[in-house]
């Protein structure tokens, strides 16, 4: 399973990329707004830092606008995936951009049928937002199971990119289902990385080492 980072924060991206944990990035207008500054420069910089797929979202809602924006965004790098909304215009742009060799991520997917249509339109990725479904009382992960089954039945090549992840258990569940990608906020990646028993265990090892050192002056480290 690939791990994408769901952020537009350059420091966070660099930090986790240096650990070898970032297979790709997803951004959206809200994440860019959170960082402030020039969003175009930020998107360009992210595409430069990360070697894997970087999803950059269009803000036009009509076909022509999405096509123009998609082509512009793709100029930032061959790793740019154009993110289009799950609308009729978005799917039309998906079909055309894909035909031009520009891969597309269809975002804001909330049902198996929407995912099916995105796959039919040739999307490289489909992004079901599971956390937002949980928020309204559904079990978002059920959607991932359904999409996985449908795509498997017909051998669709579209990858399932599990989005709107809220906690580490979402990642575990997505992995058990066999989703292709999870895109995680930095806070969730931090929680995946750390464990109180690791911290406690490391402290005990270092304390014991210090004790040993004080009793054996020849030990240098
Ligand atoms: C995915 O591409 C989106 O950027 C993201 O996962 C949305 O998550 P949210 O529901 O936490 O805003």
Domain 2-194, CATH class in plain words: alpha beta
What is residue 40's three-state secondary structure?
A: helix
For the cut 90, the answer to whether the pLDDT of residue 96 exceeds it is yes
Q: Residue 124 catalytic?
A: no
Residue 150 CB burial class (10 angstroms; 0-12, 13-18, ≥19): middle
**Which token pair is 42?**
């930020």
pLDDT at residue 202 tops 80: yes
Contact 60, 87 (CB under 8 A): no
pLDDT at 174 over 80: yes
* 153 has a pLDDT exceeding 80: yes
Residue 191 is predicted with a pLDDT of 98
Give pLDDT, residue 220.
Answer: 78
pLDDT in tens, 57-72: 999 999 999 999 999 9
Residue ID of nearest Cα to ligand 1 atom 12: 164
Ligand 1 probe mutation, 24, 133, 163, 174, most atoms within 8 A of CB: 163
User: Which helix (H) or strand (E) is 56 found in, with range?
Assistant: strand 53-57
Mapped onto helix, strand or coil, the DSSP state of residue 21 is coil
pLDDT of amino acid 147: 98
Helix axes 88-99, 63-74, angle to 10 degrees: 40
In this prediction, residues 126-139 reach a mean pLDDT of 98
Q: Determine the distance from the C-alpha atom of residue 10 to the mean position of all C-alpha atoms in its chain, rounded to a whole number.
A: 15
User: Angle at the Cα of 30 (from 113 to 144), degrees rounded to 5?
Assistant: 25
- In sequence order, what are the residues at sequence separation of 6 or more whose Cβ sits closer than 8 angstroms to the Cβ of residue 32? 8, 39, 42, 43
What pTM was computed for the model? 0.96
Neighbours of 210 (CB within 10 A): 11
218 pLDDT band, cuts 50/70/90, is confident
Looking at residue 56, what is its pLDDT? 98
CA 185 – ligand 1 centroid, Å? 8
The confidence score (pLDDT) of residue 133 equals 98
Select from 79, 77, 56 the least CA-distant residue to 66.
56
Positive or negative CA dihedral for 207, 213, 214, 220? negative
In the chain, where are the structural domains located? 2-194
Q: Residue 217 pLDDT more than 80?
A: no
Residue 83 reports pLDDT greater than 90: yes
Ligand 1 pocket (Cβ < 6 Å) reads 6, 26, 28, 107, 127, 129, 131-132, 163-164, 183
pLDDT class of 210 with cuts at 50, 70, 90: very high
pLDDT in tens, 43-52: 999 999 999 9
Q: Which ligand 1 atom minimizes the distance to the CA of 163?
A: 6
What interhelical angle do 168-177 and 186-193 show, nearest 10?
Answer: 80
With H, G, I as helix, E, B as strand and everything else as coil, classify residue 83: strand
Q: How far is CA 60 from the centre of its chain?
A: 22
């Amino acid at each position: 399973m690939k791990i994408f980072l769901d952020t537009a924060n350059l420091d966070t991206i660099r930090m986790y990329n240096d650990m070898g944990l970032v297979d790709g990035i997803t951004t959206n207008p809200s994440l860019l707004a959170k960082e402030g500054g020039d969003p175009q420069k930020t998107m360009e910089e992210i595409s430069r830092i990360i070697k894997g797929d970087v999803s950059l979202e269009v803000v036009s809602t009509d076909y022509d606008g999405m096509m123009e924006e998609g082509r512009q965004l793709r100029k930032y790098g061959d790793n740019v995936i154009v993110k289009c909304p799950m609308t009729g215009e978005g799917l039309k742009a998906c079909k055309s951009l894909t035909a031009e060799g520009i891969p597309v991520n269809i975002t804001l997917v909330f049902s198996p049928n929407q995912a099916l249509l995105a796959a039919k339109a040739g999307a490289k990725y489909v992004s079901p937002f599971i956390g937002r479904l949980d928020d309204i009382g559904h079990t978002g992960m059920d959607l991932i199971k359904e999409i996985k089954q449908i795509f498997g039945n017909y051998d669709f090549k579209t990858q399932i990119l599990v989005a709107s992840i809220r906690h580490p258990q979402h990642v575990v569940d997505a992995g058990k289902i066999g989703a292709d990608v999870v895109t995680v906020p930095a806070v969730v990646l931090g929680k995946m990385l750390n464990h109180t028993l690791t911290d406690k265990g490391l402290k005990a090892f270092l304390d014991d080492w210090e004790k040993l050192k004080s009793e054996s002056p020849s030990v240098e480290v």
